[in-house]
Amino acid sequence: MAIPLYVKKDYFRGVTLSDKSAHIFEFHYKGENVDVFENGVQVFHLEYFLESKFKANIQDFYVTDINLRGKGYGSVCMKEILDQLRKKQVTLIRSPLGYSLAPVGYTGPEQYLELMIGFFEKTGFSISGDGDSAIQILD
């Protein structure tokens, strides 16, 4: 059963990345997919599933260009998306930590897991006790 969640379909947001550079991102919400663009080029993608009106599960997310990873794109996009979900009364977000095999561009699952834990903690998530997911309670 699909649960409707109405977020403004497209909007622009000024953001500052970790290197203090300013950017204008365009957020596109379509169903339970969010695509983020900068100057017409996609920089981030996130898919989520609403388990209930108040609980969302992140299915997948990534910075589309591997050369942009580690520069703050994912963090600012994730924080903005969480803020929009919070405004729509979603109170719990859960995400799996990652893959048993590291994606292309990583030396192995251990390196990838370490980076993912750092990313989630930086964006306000806590790591579950069994270490297989990240959870954030939105207030």
Task: Express each pLDDT in 85-127 by its tens digit.
Answer: 998 899 999 999 877 667 777 888 888 888 899 999 999 999 9
Please determine, for residue 37, whether its predicted confidence score (pLDDT) is greater than 80.
yes
Classify 47-137 by CATH class: alpha beta
C-beta separation of 16 from 22 below 8 A = yes
Residue 103, pLDDT score: 74
Please determine, for residue 5, whether its predicted confidence score (pLDDT) is greater than 70.
no
Average pLDDT over all residues of the chain: 88
Per-residue pLDDT of 51-70, as tens digits, reads 998 999 999 999 999 899 88
Q: Which two tokens stand for residue 109?
A: 């699952």
Instruction: Enumerate the domain spans of the chain.
Output: 47-137
User: Does residue 121 sit in helix, strand or coil?
Assistant: helix
Residue 126, pLDDT score: 96
Q: State the Cα–Cα distance between residues 97 and 115, nearest whole angstrom.
A: 10
Please determine, for residue 6, whether its predicted confidence score (pLDDT) is greater than 60.
no
Please determine, for residue 131, whether its predicted confidence score (pLDDT) is greater than 90.
no
User: How much of the chain exceeds pLDDT 90, in percent?
Assistant: 64
Measured between its terminal Cα atoms, the distance across the chain in Å is 25
